[in-house]
Chain A
């Protein structure tokens, strides 16, 4: 009970504190902080239109957050979501383009599977490097991001480039028929359903199955896992693979549901924002859902802020950054809030 209260209270307090710091920043830049916050709210959750905007942005965040959350459960700090999303999206585009003409259902499935497999292997590599060669996973995942982005730029600006795309260099299209469409009449694509389903499924895997139990053991104390005979290396690699596979879907969505082709927007920061979502959600796949919606909202309000207050585009990034830092700092508060303790005793 005490732990539950704590794990809700601390992030909420951290969020409030970051809004406060953000307000100071806004005031310093000469705008009315309250109005700005109200606008962010309106842009995020004020109307059905803004909700749709928010949810479309939340979908990839749910998936990229898993790229940090799952490895964190087994004790690795992985920031390779950006690279995994790029790899997944890019490979899915290659498959989609080359299979163009076949039955859409087959093409779509092939794209999703390819995205999952390639991004999964990409992140599994990080886990393998860590376990077998003791390469620091944070560094290697960061470097792999750069490699993924460089490969993407090379392909999209080079061999895969559709000459018809001038301003926004992109690959050839995967074909209108092969696109993953929207849910009903809304402007929300099916990616949101992918995000929700994957988060719930992985929550179940992590919290209710023997696999998740073994992951918790390994993440909690690798020696205890070893003395129980668990194949620690295999667990790490599988967990990283799952994390990557989830993120790969985000890349597929970006290609097959949003743009219809691979372009440089695959690298638009969803991977990095996912790190923030994972930490806010304390690496719990279920908690990732609401947090991703919150973050999606902040991103969705960016346009309105720009138009309404003449604030730079980066303003919402500043807010994200502030939240991230405050959240990381708040990690040290767990188990230390004195006035919460007596409550725990009373509820015993």
Chain B
């Protein structure tokens, strides 16, 4: 391609309507060739919709997308791929029961009718050496954690020799260190190989450190484009929400509770392959206390969460709430007021084709006032309830009857939060609650979690974001290889030590602290 053409990709005057929503209104974005361009905006601002229009996944109602020198219109994702535009979607697109290698190879736009797997695998292994991160090629995708899947998605695109790479919140499931590593590598590619990158993110840090230019959307409208060198997070957040964000601190009350509310006793849990991934985990959490579990994804966090949410059976050990057995039945969840906020809410906690209103009553649809004699569903009450929660938790949705799968990523998260945190909570299990949320929402959610704690709930916070754990927890553990290998408090935290423990060579595994 000629270098005289300054733009790798232009989207001009794009408008997109969905039933009842004006998702994009005359938005333009120009991606300079070989540059790293960031796209910012609140949850539901239309970022994903814009890039889906660019990819030909949606047809814009107005405006056009021009690709490089050819001023080409793009009518389908396949065509976009052929032109060299690759995208990593906000929701995973990997085929779960195929292996990583199969997924990568199958994603090529022009596959021969008969695949020579041996040759392809050899070629793939060789090319993997240049990739920014290692993934196990033979692992089935189901066995991967969110972070690992995201790496595979990015590698998949990099291997396709894309000229324009669009990333929809790729780092929301990565730890800050991982994110820096990934984005650093991608930035190198924009310098050396003429790759142009469009990155959607909620993290100012990433914009300031890696991007050359940044475009901001506000409520479906174009709010401006800035050179990163000439702007700062304050200015950007003002562009995003139309006002400056007031600094707020989260209040933390002191709890005097001494007896543990939630106890985990010698818990053994196996992973999808039947190997024990958590072996003999012990932990106590008092009421009014947040205990953080830090660690690199894939060290048993997901399985631990699933035991609480009833999505996985434990092999041995006990979970006690108020000294009573907990085995993830509906009755116990209700009696103990135990609530879970898992990662990837659309996949783990929502039914995508059911309405927002229905998704908001999953805990209570068989109780008054939503069911007459626990049996007859009252749709009107369910809608009313949804209306209230939508307002209280500012979920952006065109209506209560909209399928939850059509909401923007952040608003799906809010829907689950609204469902789980609206009622009284006495035990709260949270995993990576802020993945994919804008800064205002992160603040909101941290406040909600803190509020539950201040009201006497025992909170288990599993997070790959160490900053989040340091900010919220009263005590913290590091999990590595299914074991708790380090305990400390945020005040006394030794970051170097924690880092070493997370990497798996801090403490001798055989003798626990």
Q: Does B365 belong to the interface (CB within 8 Å)?
A: yes
- Chain B nearest CB: distance from A211 CB in Å? 8
| Contact segment of B67-75, B243-251, B288-296, B352-360 | B352-360
* B-facing residues in A209-224 (Cβ within 8 Å): 209-214, 216-217, 220-221, 223-224
Question: Which B residues are in CB contact (< 8 Å) with A345?
Answer: 17-20
Q: Does A164 belong to the interface (CB within 8 Å)?
A: no
- Asked if B365 contacts A210 (CB within 8 A), the reply is yes
Q: A2-B19, A216-B354 are in contact. Are A224 and B375 (CB under 8 A)?
A: no
Q: Does A167 belong to the interface (CB within 8 Å)?
A: no
- Asked if B332 contacts A348 (CB within 8 A), the reply is no
Question: Which A residues are in CB contact (< 8 Å) with B330?
Answer: 228-231
- Asked if A229 contacts B353 (CB within 8 A), the reply is no
- Asked if A228 contacts B362 (CB within 8 A), the reply is yes
> 1/0 per residue B10-49: CB within 8 Å of A?
0000000111100000000000000000000000000000
Q: In the complex, which of the residues A224, A226, A341, A348 has the most CB atoms of chain B within 10 Å of its own CB atom?
A: A224
Q: In the complex, which of the residues A223, A338, A341 has the most CB atoms of chain B within 10 Å of its own CB atom?
A: A223
Q: Does A227 belong to the interface (CB within 8 Å)?
A: yes
Question: Which B residues are in CB contact (< 8 Å) with A228?
Answer: 330, 333, 362-363
Alpha-carbon gap, A203 to B348, bound state (A): 28
- Asked if B19 contacts A213 (CB within 8 A), the reply is no
Q: Does A16 belong to the interface (CB within 8 Å)?
A: no
Question: Which A residues are in CB contact (< 8 Å) with B359?
Answer: 224
Q: Does A307 belong to the interface (CB within 8 Å)?
A: no
Q: Does A208 belong to the interface (CB within 8 Å)?
A: yes
Q: Does A344 belong to the interface (CB within 8 Å)?
A: yes
From B331, B352, B375, contact of A221 by CB (8 A): B352
* A-facing residues in B311-340 (Cβ within 8 Å): 311, 328-334, 340
Q: In the complex, which of the residues B18, B340, B342, B366 has the most CB atoms of chain A within 10 Å of its own CB atom?
A: B366
- Chain A nearest CB: distance from B149 CB in Å? 16
Alpha-carbon gap, A60 to B27, bound state (A): 57
- Chain A nearest CB: distance from B290 CB in Å? 21
- Asked if B376 contacts A208 (CB within 8 A), the reply is yes
What class of interface size applies to chain B in its complex with A?
A: 35 or more
From B18, B331, B377, contact of A209 by CB (8 A): B377
From B19, B311, B352, B363, contact of A220 by CB (8 A): B352
- Asked if A226 contacts B311 (CB within 8 A), the reply is yes
Alpha-carbon gap, A212 to B351, bound state (A): 14
- Asked if A220 contacts B351 (CB within 8 A), the reply is yes
- Chain A nearest CB: distance from B208 CB in Å? 37
- Chain B nearest CB: distance from A194 CB in Å? 24
From A210, A224, A230, contact of B371 by CB (8 A): A210
Question: Which A residues are in CB contact (< 8 Å) with B375?
Answer: 209-211
Q: A210-B365, A217-B354, A223-B347 are in contact. Are A229 and B19 (CB under 8 A)?
A: no
Alpha-carbon gap, A216 to B351, bound state (A): 9
> 1/0 per residue A313-348: CB within 8 Å of B?
000000000000000000000000010010011001
Q: Does B309 belong to the interface (CB within 8 Å)?
A: yes
Alpha-carbon gap, A30 to B333, bound state (A): 68
Q: Does B183 belong to the interface (CB within 8 Å)?
A: no
- Asked if B371 contacts A217 (CB within 8 A), the reply is no
- Asked if B354 contacts A220 (CB within 8 A), the reply is yes
From A208, A338, A344, contact of B19 by CB (8 A): A344
Question: Which A residues are in CB contact (< 8 Å) with B362?
Answer: 217, 224, 227-228
From A2, A214, A220, A344, contact of B353 by CB (8 A): A220
Alpha-carbon gap, A224 to B358, bound state (A): 12
Q: Across the A-B interface, give the 7 residue pairs with the lowest CB-CB distance, nearest first.
A: A229-B330, A220-B351, A210-B366, A227-B309, A228-B362, A229-B333, A226-B310
